[in-house]
Structure 1
Amino acid sequence: MQFPESWLRTFSNPDIDTEALSQRLTMAGLEVEETRPVAPPFSGVVVAHIVAVEAHPNADKLRVCRVDDGSGEPLQIVCGAPNAAAGLKVPLARIGAVLPGGMRIGRAKMRGVESLGMLCSARELGLSQDHAGLLVLDVAAQPGQSLREALDLDDTLFTLKLTPNRADCLSILGVAREVSALTGAALTPPVIEAAPVALDDRLPVTVQAPDLCGRFAGRILRGVNARAATPDWIKSRLERAGQRSISALVDISNYIMLELGRPTHVFDLKRIQGGLTVRWAREGESLELLNGQTVALAPDVGVIVAGDEVESLAGIMGGEATAVTLDTTDIYLEAAFWWPEAIMGRARRYKFSSEASHRFERGVDFASVVEHLERMTGLILEICGGSAGPVDDQVIDLPRRDPVAMRLARCHRVLGVPVPRDEILGIFRSLGLPCRLEDDTFLVTPPSYRYDLFLEEDLIEEVARIYGFERIPDLPPLARAEMRCEPETLRGPHALRGSMAALDYQEVINFSFVEQAWEHDYAGNDDPIRLLNPIASQLAVMRSSLIAGLVANIQHNINRKQSRIRVFELGRVFARDASVADGELSVAGVSQPLRLAGAAWGPALEEQWGAASRPVDFYDVKKDVETLLGAQADALRCVAAPHPALHPGRSARLELHGQPIGWLGELHPRLAQQAELNRAPVVFELDEASISTALMPQPGELSRQPVVIRDLAVWVAPQVAYQSLLDTLAQVIASDGKLSIVRDIRLFDVWRDAAAGPASEKSMAFRFWLQDPEVTLDDATVEQCINRLLEALVSAHGVRLRA
């Protein structure tokens, strides 16, 4: 929010300079983002009156002006401005004046004619970019008066960076309340008097949506002169607040909004057919706005309707159909209280923002609607003339203002400073917060313009702001240090991130909002959770998988010439689940599990001399997953199953202890081609809850006996999977005590006869490690164990011993 300091000081004028005032506001939570002068520094420029203008004898585009600068002696000035004319009041840079940029004015001869100064344009003085002619001043300006004084150019522009909860400070009056509370200076709001009622005319208004409009006030004015000039004092304040002057009626409406924080609207009465109706929009309705944009309306958007025609977006922007023009003579003034929840996000939905919606969606004073309407009426009658009708004020449904309690002891504990009770009472009163004291509890009733006071902590914040954060000592907190034992089997998100980083993966953080096409292509989800108000059209649904985001990361890095990419993300996904109930960290009907996903693309190893370069494959990433699981990797199973994002023949569902925990595989060729990848990355996605618990290490006695190693090669049918053979061996070892000496089993060779074709048997060679903790194994015992294992394979899978 931008405004001139002089305007603020008309409401509250503390005896401190600009820098101190800026510091006070910033320390109170109203951050002053910038202060800058209205005009750049210059000196020696005064108001001058052009008495006469003559043609230059030696130049067609120059003229010789006689000007009165208040010194008593007319000065001769040569000027080339096309608008130089007798009778104008213009800026004059006298001899010795210094203009912006350091240019000094001296005596000069222009085509043989002496010039004793320089008449200036607005651009030459740094006031604007207009250099089409001389800057024309008010006819009431006195010749010889300093231009800086005449135009109040020593003013300072304040730019506040307000937090969303301080809607009450989106006006000069609101900021002045804060200044008065911070400095103790008197608050002098504008005197508002009821405008004289000279008409009996009323416009019927029906409010059909109490959840949209809580209060609606309006009145008719007839005989106004819309072509009346906006007074310079209003125009100057608007321009310095960043508003462009348009016409008297529009300028007055904008002025009231900036001064009092009250957005209003002016209707052309003759363009209203029948009365007004306030309601929610209906499907199929549309509206042409004042900015020229035509919008299609939805049932959750509030509108004001005249007859059967929609006239404006309630609390956001008026429509072109009833906009005032310079020919307007009869108007209807509207001021209302719109519920913030009914305005929030509607303007952004149509990809624009307005000053009115910015205020109404944060909360506007609902108790002063009529007073503000009277203030606006008075200005219109004073500037544009006309006659006013009575005010129609409909109070439908206003917010409740329940007292908020603040305990003195709680305040002292939170702030760490024993602020005296009487000082706290004075702080609340200086802020205009009605307060009463019961024992050591303050009961504060939030005023109608404060929408940020609900909790005890809100009141404590008010005390801290006005008391002064700089007065609170900077002391470290003291607390008992209690050592807590962390469960050894629990691995939190931070530990998982550390493990992934140790595996040479880099963490990424992607949006939880994704394209709808991603949900269909990567997750097979045709009914994703849609956002009601997406920040961008392509980010319209909530993700149910992390894989698509990682593929986009890979694509982004490939486009920037990266040759090896390994990324991971730990984040939430979102899916519909009717079994989920509302809770502190849950939303009814929405499951939000935490997932860990990774993706690898490019060479399996960094470029080096010790190993040949090869692309990363399924088994490389599978090994990363096993390393991540640690001791639980023995319980990991890869089950062939289809997934919409993965290669049909190079993907697997991951199961741990028989429970599915995620997926692993190459990206589907179609999706790799769609992402313009020359090789498909290998990706995985795991359920964080399933892998966050590790096995507790169990100590065991080391055997002094030697280990015996035996190999066993068998012919196996082509459809038999290695995992099924391994499961059979594990089952028979667990069921036979004599086989407990088998310590480990590994597959070390697979061979097929290429000439026999793919349907032929395959040779699989197993290596067994055997060890007894008590005695040295003899050959007979070892052979007996191997034969028992072979029998189990023959019985379960029909294998044949390979000679």
Structure 2
Amino acid sequence: FERGVDYELPLQAIERATRLITEIVGGEPGPVVERATSHLPEPQQISLREARIEKMLAMPVPAERVEAILTGLGLTVQSADGGWTTTTPSWRFDLAIEVDLLEELARIVGYNNLPVKPITGSLEITAVPEGRVGVGDVRRRMTALGYQEAITYSFVDPVWQKAMFPGVEAVSLINPISADLADMRLSHWPGLLKAVAHNLNRQQSRVRLFETGLCFIPGESGLQQEATLSAVVTGNRTPESWHGKGERVDFFDAKGDLESLLTLVAGRDYRFEAAEHTALHPGQSARILLNGEEVGHIGALHPSLSKQFDLEQAVYLFEIKLAAITERQVPVFHTPSRYPEVRRDLAVVVDRAVAAQSLLDMARKAAGEHLVNLNLFDIYEGEGIDPQRKSLAIGLTYRDSSRTLNEEEVNESVGHVIRALEEGFGATLRN
């Protein structure tokens, strides 16, 4: 059945058999009844362009001969603008596209009659958008940060995956190669954690892995295939050496690596916001926002999952959509200012529940147009401060590109910032 079965052959066969019976023994045949004709294949309609013949065969073929060849092969041929429209016979399952007809013409004309001439064509070099960041650039940045690329299976252990993503029904394989590789992955994390466990069981206590590829996420509109980048890190902050102190990595090491990766697409508005995730530690997890849209998560593996997976040391993970880190804003040149900067530092005491990012956002909004830099450089909790409050120290840098700012202007802006923080967060200046 490699070449198919002629679906009109049964009708021809029964008619021939009926004729032979009546000729030999006589009698009158009854009507022929056809059933399930709606399930039979449909004849293919294929367009053939005259200009394409000369280009692909390197020689022109007269229109009369083209029609004669195709008709002789059993096709129905009709003239069309610049070529022909053909309908395939029921026994030619191998004819589906224009190139198939060109092959038949070459076969009948004779391969030895075709001129020996190389096929030529124009190859245009397309411009690469300056704002595009290739996946190769992402991989190189991750390896520069000390990570090694892992390539795990697209199907994972359903027990591990359900533990990390309870309530999400993954796509299951009908015939998995093994019981622990039975579900399509919702995330790279289950596969990477398996790799971490494999390394830890072989005395490799410092592990940094990343992976890029597709994840398969069921949704209301069907199965979504989403390209993501994921990473796991555990063990010491630096490799063992004579000057190293053997400090363990923490949440901010993983966050710092991710922020370094995000410098590839500098100029985009990324934010980290505290948020819970079923696979992450409730007090050490955050979601990653790009222009207000969630594009990933970062955090420490949930302690209950560490126990379930027999991971005896803390593991930190992050995952982000590749589309969020492969397109950047093109840098724009600005003439450096010839005028000096003015810096003011503020230390304010606020409630411990206040997120530093929220405070910085309000300070930036209140500072005005001359603020060119704002950073948080100190957080203090302890002696001399209410246990329910904390001290945040921020640095504000002012500059104008056309003149030197005077003291009154800077003081006025700082005053606006202080009032905004007092009204918005109940902040007080720390003595």
Same topology, TM > 0.5: yes
CA shift in 2, pair 1:558/1:763, >3 Å:
same
Note if 1:529 corresponds to 2:171.
yes
Q: Distance in 2 between matches of 1:635 and 1:664?
A: 17
| Aligned equivalent of 2:21 | none
By relative contact order (CA 8 Å, sep 6+), the higher-ranking structure is 2
Alignment partner of 1:400 out of 41, 62, 65: 41
CA shift in 2, pair 1:406/1:752, >3 Å:
closer
Q: Distance in 2 between matches of 1:751 and 1:650?
A: 19
When structure 1 is superposed on structure 2, of 772-781 and 456-465 the one drifting more is 456-465
Does the 8 Å contact 1:570/1:594 carry over to 2?
Answer: yes
Letter of the aligned partner of 1:167 in structure 2? E
Does the 8 Å contact 2:273/2:288 carry over to 1?
Answer: yes
SS at the partner of 1:573? strand
Does the 8 Å contact 1:404/1:445 carry over to 2?
Answer: no
Note if 1:724 corresponds to 2:365.
no
CA shift in 2, pair 1:396/1:613, >3 Å:
farther
Deviations 1:109-143 (A, max 9, x none): xxxxxxxxxxxxxxxxxxxxxxxxxxxxxxxxxxx
Alignment partner of 1:565 out of 207, 227, 231: 207
Gaps of 5+ in 1: 1-165, 169-362, 370-393, 581-588
Q: Distance in 2 between matches of 1:456 and 1:496?
A: 41
Q: Distance in 2 between matches of 1:468 and 1:650?
A: 71
Counterpart mapping for 1:9-158 below 5 A: none
SS at the partner of 1:767? strand
Note if 1:621 corresponds to 2:263.
no
SS at the partner of 2:258? helix
Deviations 1:686-725 (A, max 9, x none): 2333444322323223111222333222222222221221
| Aligned equivalent of 1:478 | 121
CA shift in 2, pair 1:445/1:561, >3 Å:
farther
CA shift in 2, pair 1:725/1:406, >3 Å:
closer
| Aligned equivalent of 2:376 | 747
Q: Distance in 2 between matches of 1:488 and 1:785?
A: 38
Q: Distance in 2 between matches of 1:474 and 1:677?
A: 65
Letter of the aligned partner of 1:603 in structure 2? N
Note if 1:714 corresponds to 2:357.
no
Does the 8 Å contact 1:406/1:459 carry over to 2?
Answer: no
CA shift in 2, pair 1:697/1:590, >3 Å:
same
When structure 1 is superposed on structure 2, of 653-662 and 613-622 the one drifting more is 613-622
Q: Distance in 2 between matches of 1:491 and 1:402?
A: 47
Alignment partner of 1:764 out of 392, 398, 423: 392
CA shift in 2, pair 1:528/1:464, >3 Å:
farther
Counterpart mapping for 1:382-397 below 5 A: 397=36
Return the offset for 1:368: 8.8
Letter of the aligned partner of 1:693 in structure 2? E
Note if 1:445 corresponds to 2:95.
no
CA shift in 2, pair 1:479/1:701, >3 Å:
same
Counterpart mapping for 1:145-184 below 5 A: 167-168=2-3
Return the offset for 1:619: 1.7
| TM-score, length-scaled by structure 2 | 0.74
Return the offset for 1:743: 1.9
Q: Distance in 1 between matches of 2:407 and 2:74?
A: 95
CA shift in 2, pair 1:762/1:542, >3 Å:
same
Q: Distance in 2 between matches of 1:472 and 1:396?
A: 50
Return the offset for 1:606: 4.2
Q: Distance in 1 between matches of 2:127 and 2:120?
A: 23
Q: Distance in 2 between matches of 1:559 and 1:434?
A: 67
CA shift in 2, pair 1:506/1:462, >3 Å:
farther
CA shift in 2, pair 1:558/1:412, >3 Å:
farther
Counterpart mapping for 1:318-717 below 5 A: 397=36, 399-400=40-41, 402=43, 405=46, 407=48, 409=50, 412=53, 415=56, 417-418=58-59, 434-436=73-75, 438=77, 444-445=88-89, 447=91, 452-458=94-100, 460=102, 475=118, 477-479=120-122, 481=124, 483-491=125-133, 493-532=135-174, 534=176, 536-559=178-201, 562-578=204-220, 580=221, 589-607=222-240, 612-630=245-263, 632=266, 635-717=269-351
Q: Distance in 2 between matches of 1:674 and 1:364?
A: 57
CA shift in 2, pair 1:633/1:597, >3 Å:
farther
Return the offset for 1:663: 0.7
Letter of the aligned partner of 1:445 in structure 2? P
Does the 8 Å contact 1:708/1:770 carry over to 2?
Answer: yes
Return the offset for 1:789: 2.4
| TM-score, length-scaled by structure 1 | 0.43
Return the offset for 1:651: 0.5
| Aligned equivalent of 1:790 | 418
Does the 8 Å contact 1:750/1:762 carry over to 2?
Answer: yes
CA shift in 2, pair 1:778/1:522, >3 Å:
same
Return the offset for 1:505: 3.7
CA shift in 2, pair 1:405/1:794, >3 Å:
closer
Deviations 1:593-618 (A, max 9, x none): 33232222333344456654433322
Does the 8 Å contact 1:703/1:774 carry over to 2?
Answer: yes
Return the offset for 1:648: 1.1
The count of residues paired between Structure 1 and Structure 2 equals 398
Q: Distance in 2 between matches of 1:640 and 1:472?
A: 71
| Aligned equivalent of 1:70 | none
* RMSD, matched Cα: 4.2
Q: Distance in 2 between matches of 1:509 and 1:461?
A: 42
